[in-house]
């Protein structure tokens, strides 16, 4: 039923979009379109009624008929829009309008028949349990006093909890303290030796859990061969007691390639692997593998009832059926957890969440999915039920995501400044999504190394093409076989994809590929909502001037390096929500006195704008902007700071995140910030410390990053400022003396300092109640000493949880220090 519901909700978005006043140029019979909207909303209610009452919608294949009629209507409308764009102000526009009205009337008739077939739905009838011993046994094996390098293996079937057990061991405070270095890498069936080495080396050298930092690290290592990476890993491990975890190992091949880079340094180092295959563990010489067995009946019930009923306990009337469900899970912990969480609210997964959940099959196995990308794709796909409140579709998407996380269907991989940035789906749950998605023809995933192309893929609406990490080439015959697809609206591809395939899919709404396309290929796709591609080439004038033809474009991401100059027509793209150009983009001023309103009401993310003039008209034209990244070089353009009107930033009342890079000093009188800011990242502006009050007075600021942003030998902070600041990162400054006490940063959690001239950290920080991390880089020994004093004072005062890390430039590692370190 997910495919039918997704089709209906998507059609509602399309119908409402073409009724928008900004679409006044499309010839429509407004009453006919209103009648279609009413019919589609009725079908949505029908699906929800049947689903909520647990009834099967199998009356003469009613479910598939709803999906087909909705998809047909969507095709008719969006094909007509393309024709209208091509035939504006011509006689052909009138002819296509006549045929369009006839086609819409026919599809309304089909929906009438569906409603007549509907029948009233029948009334609906009135930490891992048992793992403590495993944890203790594994920790004993890891901490044994045998100096020789030892291998410990955890073996068990998929979903039984191998990774959960390994994670609990890996993060146990005793293990963290016992080993000098820890590193974790997930192998999976399809592995890449270079990726294994890069992930291990990144962890070993103290890398933080951040996609951006890992990407930057990978770029730095780009010129090194696999052998050189392995040698660097070996040298980093040779003198330290290390723990390496290789999760989800499927064969001995990966181990045979990397084993020589793990030195047997007679220092009680350990390697831990998890695998589903006993023979793999035995072949690796890990001794007697630690086997995880299925849970017994009692432990199964304990785990299931804990997840399903939390602390309330199982109601007596549900105990019999609950134990039957737990028994049917066969002692598999993952199944017990997932089904228990699904039943936590005594209900199945709501129908509005099913399309979003099934969509997770789009991403490759073990993929770290950026939440921002996932939400943008959900919005573009039209999965989100329109809400007639003040909530944006992004807010609705975040609620959907939280619901799926709470139900244990999606996992959080990391958080940054309190926000979830990365999520993953377990491979068993992904397999479930994939089977269900294929079964409903909701989406199809094709592997380029496979020749097995299902015949019904011709009608799929969503197509995701994956390439094995082992496979360095793709098979042309696979892409040739996909030339038959005609109804595909979404194409996601993790590698270079044939432009010929894209050119045939003229109704595409989502194009997310790693590839280069000509402007001619792209401008034909007038219905695009989401466009993300590699474009390391000059976008020609025809493409730039034609951008406003993308009447429904929400997301435009260009991963190129050359600057792009946007046309004034960008102000006519009323659906635009996210504009991110990796290189740089010149954003035009609105055209005053034009007939159409110059307001981008939906725009909330604008990245890498060069020399942005924030005039009052611009600020008013972006009333809901939340994220903004700017880059300035006034010396190259020969203008004064006042030309850029940065004082008008205060009029961006919804702005939450601002990054500004400057190539010259700016005075406080030439810039002002809105009170809505939560994150501020400044580069190169060299503001005097005495002007910090313009930042400290921001009432909602939670994160401040300053790189070569502040100048002066002394900084005296003021009470009553930085009241909400949680994360403070200051580097590349000449600061020597810092006066502050506990009342100046009452909410501070993380402090990062890269200040080579600073004498010491204010000792008043010892009593900051929320402080968790201090990270020091390129600091004097006296700063390290003051950090140790703060650590000791907190220990003596009963504060817990503070970690102090020092970056050693020579070794390239972050080294934690404790109270007893000298």
pLDDT in tens, 363-419: 988 888 999 999 999 999 999 886 666 778 888 999 999 989 887 788 887 654 456
- What φ, ψ does residue 785 adopt, rounded to 5°? -60, -45
Contact 720, 692 (CB under 8 A): no
Contacts of 256 (CB under 8 A, 6+ apart): none
Helices 211-220/193-204 angle, 10° precision:
110
Contact 628, 655 (CB under 8 A): yes
- Determine the pLDDT at residue 679: 95
Alpha-carbon distance of 774 to 751, in angstroms, equals 5
Contact 738, 718 (CB under 8 A): no
Residues 58 and 162 reside in one and the same domain: no
Residues 646 and 621 reside in one and the same domain: yes
Contact 618, 589 (CB under 8 A): yes
Alpha-carbon distance of 459 to 448, in angstroms, equals 19
Alpha-carbon distance of 305 to 318, in angstroms, equals 10
Residue 318, pLDDT > 70, answer no
785 in a domain, yes or no?
yes
Residues 373 and 455 reside in one and the same domain: no
- 226-235, 465-474, 786-795: segment of lowest average pLDDT: 465-474
Residue 345, pLDDT > 80, answer no
Q: What percent of the chain has pLDDT over 70?
A: 83
- Give which of 534, 598, 531, 537 is closest to 562, Cα–Cα: 537
Instruction: Enter the DSSP assignment of 193.
Output: H
Residue 119, pLDDT > 50, answer no
Residues 684 and 604 reside in one and the same domain: no
- Determine the pLDDT at residue 416: 46
The arithmetic mean of pLDDT across residues 208-215, rounded, is 62
Contact 142, 243 (CB under 8 A): yes
- In whole numbers, what is the pLDDT of the chain averaged over residues? 82
Where among 492, 512, 532 does a domain terminate? 512
- Determine the pLDDT at residue 699: 94
What range defines the domain where residue 468 resides? 443-512
How far lies 667's CA from each of 242, 646, 698, in Å? 50, 11, 18
Whole-structure pTM value: 0.75
CB burial readout 773-809, b (16+ within 10 A) else e: ebbbbebbeebbebbbbbbebbeeeebeebebbbbee
Per the structure, how many domains does the chain have? 6
- 539-548, 759-768, 778-787, 796-805: segment of lowest average pLDDT: 539-548
The arithmetic mean of pLDDT across residues 93-104, rounded, is 85
- 39-48, 54-63, 300-309, 710-719: segment of lowest average pLDDT: 54-63
Residue 121, pLDDT > 50, answer no
Measured CA angle at 28 (ends 26, 33), to 5 deg:
125
- Give which of 526, 494, 499, 500 is closest to 512, Cα–Cα: 494
Contact 107, 101 (CB under 8 A): no
Residues 468 and 504 reside in one and the same domain: yes
Contact 725, 699 (CB under 8 A): no
Residues 334 and 381 reside in one and the same domain: yes
Q: Tens of pLDDT along 258-288?
A: 889 999 888 889 999 998 888 888 887 767 7
Residues 486 and 532 reside in one and the same domain: no
**How, if at all, do strands 813-817 and 803-808 pair?**
antiparallel
CB burial readout 461-493, b (16+ within 10 A) else e: bbbbbbbbbeeeebeeebbeebeebebbbbbbb
Would you state the structure tokens that stand for residue 17, as one six-digit string?
């979009």
Alpha-carbon distance of 685 to 662, in angstroms, equals 5
Residue 475, pLDDT > 60, answer no
Per-residue 3-state assignment (H helix, E strand, C coil) for 212-261: HHHHHHHHHCCCCCHHHHHHHHHHHHCCCCEEEEEECCCCCHHHHHHHHH
Residues 398 and 277 reside in one and the same domain: no
3 state DSSP class of 665:
coil
- Determine the pLDDT at residue 392: 83
Residues 453 and 311 reside in one and the same domain: no
Residue 81, pLDDT > 80, answer yes
164 in a domain, yes or no?
yes
- Determine the pLDDT at residue 664: 83
Longest dimension (CA), the chain: 88
- Determine the pLDDT at residue 501: 66
CATH number of the domain residue 749 falls in: 3.80.10
Instruction: Enter the DSSP assignment of 336.
Output: H
- Determine the pLDDT at residue 539: 57
Q: Identify the residue with better confidence: 475 or 630.
A: 630
How far lies 644's CA from each of 587, 632, 663, in Å? 12, 9, 14
- Determine the pLDDT at residue 505: 80
- Determine the pLDDT at residue 329: 79
Residues 305 and 340 reside in one and the same domain: yes
Q: What percent of the chain has pLDDT over 90?
A: 30
Helices 162-170/132-143 angle, 10° precision:
50
- Kindly indicate the confidence band of residue 59, based on its pLDDT and cuts at 50, 70 and 90: very low
Alpha-carbon distance of 818 to 804, in angstroms, equals 7
- Determine the pLDDT at residue 120: 39
- 38-52, 167-181, 642-656: segment of lowest average pLDDT: 38-52
534 in a domain, yes or no?
yes
Residues 642 and 695 reside in one and the same domain: no
Residue 822, pLDDT > 80, answer no
750 in a domain, yes or no?
yes
- Kindly indicate the confidence band of residue 591, based on its pLDDT and cuts at 50, 70 and 90: confident
Where among 275, 291, 307 does a domain terminate? 291
Alpha-carbon distance of 122 to 59, in angstroms, equals 13
Q: How far from the centroid of its chain's Cα atoms is residue 747's Cα? A: 27
Q: Is the torsion defined by CA of 12, 14, 15, 20 positive or negative?
A: positive
For residue 277, how many C-alpha atoms fall within 13 Å in the half-sphere facing its CB? 11
Beta partners for residue 412, in sequence order: 423
Residue 122, pLDDT > 50, answer no
- What φ, ψ does residue 748 adopt, rounded to 5°? -65, 130
669 in a domain, yes or no?
no
- Kindly indicate the confidence band of residue 506, based on its pLDDT and cuts at 50, 70 and 90: confident
Contact 632, 662 (CB under 8 A): yes
124 in a domain, yes or no?
no
The arithmetic mean of pLDDT across residues 209-219, rounded, is 67
Which contiguous run of DSSP H or E holds residue 500?
helix 499-504
Residues 818 and 707 reside in one and the same domain: yes
Contact 341, 310 (CB under 8 A): no
Instruction: Enter the DSSP assignment of 543.
Output: H
**How, if at all, do strands 419-424 and 411-416 pair?**
antiparallel
- Kindly indicate the confidence band of residue 20, based on its pLDDT and cuts at 50, 70 and 90: confident
389 in a domain, yes or no?
yes
Alpha-carbon distance of 46 to 642, in angstroms, equals 59
584 in a domain, yes or no?
yes
Where among 85, 117, 149 does a domain terminate? 117
């Amino acid at each position: 039923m997910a495919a039918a519901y997704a089709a209906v909700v998507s059609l509602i978005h399309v119908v409402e979009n073409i009724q928008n006043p900004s679409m006044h140029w499309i010839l429509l019979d407004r009453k006919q379109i209103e009648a279609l909207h009413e019919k589609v909303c009725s079908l949505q209610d029908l699906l929800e009624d049947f689903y909520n009452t647990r009834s099967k919608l199998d009356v003469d294949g009613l479910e598939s008929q709803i999906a087909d009629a909705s998809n047909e209507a969507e095709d008719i409308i969006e094909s007509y829009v393309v024709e209208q764009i091509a035939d504006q102000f011509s006689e052909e526009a009138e002819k296509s309008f006549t045929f369009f009205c006839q086609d819409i009337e026919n599809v309304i008739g089909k929906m009438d028949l569906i409603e007549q077939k509907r029948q009233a739905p029948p009334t609906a009838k009135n930490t891992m349990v048992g793992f403590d011993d495993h944890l203790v046994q594994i920790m004993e094996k890891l901490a044994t006093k045998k100096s020789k390098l030892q291998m410990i293996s955890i073996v068990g079937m998929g979903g039984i909890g191998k990774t959960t057990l390994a994670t609990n061991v890996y993060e146990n405070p005793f293990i963290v303290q016992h080993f000098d270095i820890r590193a974790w890498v997930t192998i999976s069936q399809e592995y890449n030796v270079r990726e294994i080495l890069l992930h291990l080396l990144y962890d070993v050298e103290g890398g933080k859990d951040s996609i951006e930092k890992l990407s930057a690290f990978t770029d730095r290592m780009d010129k090194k061969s696999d052998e050189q990476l392995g040698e660097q890993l070996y040298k980093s491990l040779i003198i330290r007691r290390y723990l390496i975890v290789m999760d989800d190992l499927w064969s001995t091949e990966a181990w045979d390639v990397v084993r020589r880079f793990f030195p047997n340094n007679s220092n009680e180092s350990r390697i831990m692997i998890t695998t589903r295959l006993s023979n793999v563990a035995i072949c690796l010489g890990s001794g007697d593998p630690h086997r995880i067995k299925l849970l017994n009946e009692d432990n199964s019930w304990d785990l299931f009832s804990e997840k399903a009923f939390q602390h309330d306990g199982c109601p007596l009337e549900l105990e019999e059926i609950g134990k039957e469900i737990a028994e049917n899970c066969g002692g598999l912990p993952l199944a017990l957890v997932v089904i228990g969480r699904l039943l936590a609210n005594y209900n199945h997964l709501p129908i509005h969440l099913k399309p979003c959940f099934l969509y997770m099959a789009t991403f490759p196995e073990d993929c770290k999915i950026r939440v921002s990308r996932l939400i943008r794709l959900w919005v573009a796909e039209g999965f989100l039920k329109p809400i007639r409140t003040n909530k944006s579709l992004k807010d609705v998407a975040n609620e959907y995501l939280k619901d799926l996380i709470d139900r244990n269907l999606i996992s959080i991989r990391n958080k940054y400044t309190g926000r979830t940035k990365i999520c993953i789906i377990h491979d068993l749950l992904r397999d479930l999504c994939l089977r269900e998605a294929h079964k409903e023809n909701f989406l199809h995933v094709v592997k380029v190394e496979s020749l097995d192309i299902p015949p019904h893929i011709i009608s799929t609406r969503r197509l995701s093409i994956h390439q094995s990490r082992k496979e360095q080439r793709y098979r042309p015959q696979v892409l040739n076989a996909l030339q038959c697809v005609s109804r595909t609206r979404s194409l996601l591809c993790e590698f270079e994809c044939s432009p010929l395939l894209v050119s045939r899919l003229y109704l595409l709404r989502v194009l997310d590929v790693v590839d280069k396309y000509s402007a001619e290929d792209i401008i034909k796709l007038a219905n695009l909502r989401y466009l993300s591609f590699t474009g390391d080439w000059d976008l020609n004038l025809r493409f730039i001037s034609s951008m406003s033809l993308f009447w429904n474009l929400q997301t435009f991401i260009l991963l190129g390096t050359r600057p792009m100059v946007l046309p004034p027509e960008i102000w006519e793209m009323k659906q635009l929500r996210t504009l991110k150009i990796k290189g740089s983009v010149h954003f035009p001023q609105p055209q005053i006195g034009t007939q159409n309103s110059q307001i981008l009401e939906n725009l909330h993310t604008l990245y890498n704008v060069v020399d942005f003039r924030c005039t009052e008209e611009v600020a008013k034209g972006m009333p809901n902007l939340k994220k903004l990244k700017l880059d300035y070089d006034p010396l190259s353009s020969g203008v004064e700071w006042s030309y850029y009107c940065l004082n008008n930033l205060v009029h961006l009342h919804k702005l939450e995140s601002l990054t500004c890079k400057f190539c010259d000093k700016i005075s406080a009188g030439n810039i002002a910030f809105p009170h809505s800011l939560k994150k501020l990242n400044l580069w190169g502006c060299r503001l005097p410390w005495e002007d910090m009050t313009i930042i400290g007075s921001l009432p909602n600021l939670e994160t401040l990053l300053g790189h070569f942003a502040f100048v002066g030998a002394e900084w005296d902070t003021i009470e009553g400022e930085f009241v909400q600041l949680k994360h403070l990162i200051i580097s590349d400054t000449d600061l020597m003396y810092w006066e502050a006490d506990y009342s100046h940063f009452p909410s501070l959690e993380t402090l990062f300092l890269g200040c080579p001239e600073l004498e010491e950290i204010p000792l008043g920080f010892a009593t900051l109640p929320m402080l968790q991390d201090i990270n020091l880089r390129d600091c004097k020994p006296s700063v390290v000493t003051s950090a140790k004093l703060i650590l000791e004072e907190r220990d003596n005062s009963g504060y817990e949880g503070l970690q102090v890390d020092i970056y050693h430039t020579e070794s390239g590692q972050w080294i934690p220090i404790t109270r007893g370190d000298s």
